[in-house]
Amino acid sequence: MTWSWEVFIETIPLIFKGLWITLGLTIACYLFAMIAGFFWVFMSRIPIKPVNWLFRWIAEFIRSTPPLVQLFFIYYAWPVVPVIGVTLNPFVAAILGLGIHFSTYTSEVYRSGIESVDKGQWEASTALNLSTAQKWRYIILPQAIPPTIPMLGNYLIIMFKEVPLASTIGVVAMLHLANDYGAQYYKYVEPLTVVALFFLLLSYPSALLISRLEKKYNRRFDKKTATL
């Protein structure tokens, strides 16, 4: 097997078609993870110790086991679970699987953001007689979320690179198209290189952008502490 530029050029438009599916799936999984992340934060704030403990360990379990196995569980095992089981199409299974896996990460990000809000802010909002909803809406979240934006951005890039896992349950995105092409013509290296290049082309500039954001927020944070 030798490297063929012809095959390389030929597969670019083919893989490019898959790029949109990969991107769409990334965004869908990410939105799911962002929203589901609040679920874990909410559960960890319930003031009952055993419930707290239970949800902490469930989150730990999901976080430290392979997303690939979780995908297989949702796609192959969920339909045969009695009563609550339903058959999911690969796309939905991927959104659920990767979304739930990464929600355990986004929840940690939210938690760190919420914990970084100064204790005095909580006390002040109580002193001002704000309701719980007002306190979160006007005082805590506006201060807790912005510093976490670079971290959340990092997870978007990580998510983008985890999405090809979905090809194993049959989502026809970049990696799947490359493997199909390979199986058909026994030319694997060229299409896979194209896939890798597309990943690099998108994730490297995004990573640069994130690190610039990080610097910006850090500077702002430094300024704030300097005046204290």
Q: How far is CA 108 from the centre of its chain?
A: 12
- Single out the residue of 36, 144, 152, 192 in contact with other proteins (rule: CB under 8 A): 192
> What is the closest distance, in whole angstroms, from the C-beta atom of residue 83 to other proteins in the complex?
12
> What is the closest distance, in whole angstroms, from the C-beta atom of residue 55 to other proteins in the complex?
16
- Single out the residue of 179, 213, 214, 217 in contact with other proteins (rule: CB under 8 A): 179
Q: How far is CA 34 from the centre of its chain?
A: 7
> What is the closest distance, in whole angstroms, from the C-beta atom of residue 207 to other proteins in the complex?
7
> What is the closest distance, in whole angstroms, from the C-beta atom of residue 76 to other proteins in the complex?
5
Q: By CB under 8 A, tell whether 150 contacts other proteins.
A: no
Tokens linked to 114: 């919420």
In the block, which residue shows the tokens 């869908």? Answer: 28
Expressed in angstroms, the distance from the first to the final Cα of the chain is 65
Nearer to other proteins, 72 or 136 (CB): 72
Nearer to other proteins, 65 or 116 (CB): 65
Nearer to other proteins, 3 or 122 (CB): 3
Q: By CB under 8 A, tell whether 159 contacts other proteins.
A: no
In the block, which residue shows the tokens 């109580």? Answer: 126
Q: By CB under 8 A, tell whether 130 contacts other proteins.
A: no
Burial of residue 204 (CB within 10 Å: 0-12, 13-18, 19+) is: exposed
Q: By CB under 8 A, tell whether 200 contacts other proteins.
A: yes
Q: Lay out the site mask for other proteins across 54-93 (x = CB under 8 A, - = otherwise).
A: ------xx--xxxxxxx-xx--xxx-xx------------
Burial of residue 115 (CB within 10 Å: 0-12, 13-18, 19+) is: exposed
Crossing angle for the helix pair 5-44 and 174-185, to the nearest 10 degrees: 140
Helix, strand, coil shares, percent, the chain, to 5: 85, 0, 15
Give the torsion sign (CA, 123, 124, 129, 135): negative
Using CB under 8 A as the criterion, which residues of the chain lie in contact with other proteins when the complex forms? Answer: 1-3, 60-61, 64-70, 72-73, 76-78, 80-81, 161-165, 167-168, 175, 178-179, 182, 188-189, 192-193, 195-196, 199-200, 203-204, 207
